[in-house]
């Protein structure tokens, strides 16, 4: 069994959302699993001296045109959220809490978070809004709200983020296929070719 693909992403990243709609099908065609790894991208942006693209002049205007165009091409639902970028701390912690219990449930939760935020335009900065998404999947509200304040879960997200930076992650989405790095939703075609050919 070949190693799983690591899929690093930030919930506040629209390109992470667009990539999330394709990566599992691409991987499955080549017998690969995908491990979804939400991180706090702000930590990497400090190292690169960058800001979120939606907060940068010129880039913001382009992104707000490019993302809807990309989404139409994929026939993906898209509603630009009112708050950009949202604070993804609660959603990311909730993910890792669920991941420790049930990886499939965690992935379903991540997909539901992405759909609520980028598909429906809901602001998931408040933990209560994240808990609502969890409830739609049968996750008890109070348990989720307690988990996102749990020091052990906080530490898990920080470790995952630190480890991503140690591997070279500085943007979202970011993939590793057998340690080969691919950055961006627009590298998925090359990633797929890499899987098909074993590299070039």
Q: Enumerate binding residues for a copy of itself (CB under 8 A).
A: 44, 47-51, 56-59, 61-62, 65-66, 69-70, 72-73, 165, 168-170, 181, 183-184, 186-187, 189-190, 193, 200
Tally the C-alpha atoms within 13 A of residue 36's C-alpha that lie toward its C-beta: 29
Side by side, which strands form the sheet with 180-183?
A: 34-38, 5-9, 174-177, 180-183
Q: Which is nearer to a copy of itself, 125 or 164 (CB)?
A: 164
DSSP assignment letter at 177: E
Q: How far is the CB of 61 from a copy of itself (least distance, A)?
A: 6
Number of H helices, E strands in the chain: 10, 4
Q: Which is nearer to a copy of itself, 30 or 170 (CB)?
A: 170
Q: How far is the CB of 196 from a copy of itself (least distance, A)?
A: 13
Q: How many CB atoms lie within 10 A of CB 23?
A: 22
Element (H or E) spanning 7, and its range?
strand 5-9
Q: Which is nearer to a copy of itself, 134 or 173 (CB)?
A: 173
Residue among 194, 147, 164, 165 nearest 7 (CA): 164
Q: Which is nearer to a copy of itself, 59 or 154 (CB)?
A: 59
Q: How far is the CB of 121 from a copy of itself (least distance, A)?
A: 21
Could you tell me if 32 and 2 are in contact, meaning their C-beta atoms sit under 8 angstroms apart? yes
Q: How far is the CB of 19 from a copy of itself (least distance, A)?
A: 13
Q: Which is nearer to a copy of itself, 82 or 197 (CB)?
A: 197
- Secondary structure of the chain: what % helix, strand, coil (to 5)? 55, 10, 35
Could you tell me if 97 and 153 are in contact, meaning their C-beta atoms sit under 8 angstroms apart? yes
Q: How far is the CB of 12 from a copy of itself (least distance, A)?
A: 19
Q: How far is the CB of 178 from a copy of itself (least distance, A)?
A: 14
Q: Which is nearer to a copy of itself, 54 or 131 (CB)?
A: 54
Length of the chain: 200
């Amino acid at each position: 069994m070949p190693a799983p693909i690591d899929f690093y992403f930030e919930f506040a990243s629209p390109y992470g959302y667009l990539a999330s709609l394709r990566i599992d099908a691409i991987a499955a065609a080549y017998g690969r699993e995908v491990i979804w790894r939400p991180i706090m991208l702000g930590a990497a942006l400090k190292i690169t001296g960058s800001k979120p693209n939606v907060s940068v002049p010129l880039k913001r205007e382009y992104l707000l045109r490019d993302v809807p165009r990309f989404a139409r091409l994929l026939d993906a639902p898209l509603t630009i959220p009112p708050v950009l970028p949202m604070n993804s701390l609660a959603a990311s912690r909730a993910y890792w809490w669920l991941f420790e219990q049930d990886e499939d449930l965690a992935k379903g939760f991540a997909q539901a978070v992405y759909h609520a935020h980028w598909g429906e335009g809901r602001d998931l900065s408040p933990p209560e809004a994240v808990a609502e998404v969890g409830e739609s999947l049968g996750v008890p509200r109070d348990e989720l709200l307690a988990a996102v304040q749990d020091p052990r879960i906080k530490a898990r997200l920080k470790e995952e983020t630190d480890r991503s930076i140690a591997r070279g992650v500085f943007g979202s989405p970011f993939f590793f296929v057998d340690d080969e790095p691919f950055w961006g939703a627009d590298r998925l075609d090359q990633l797929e070719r890499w899987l098909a050919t074993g590299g070039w």
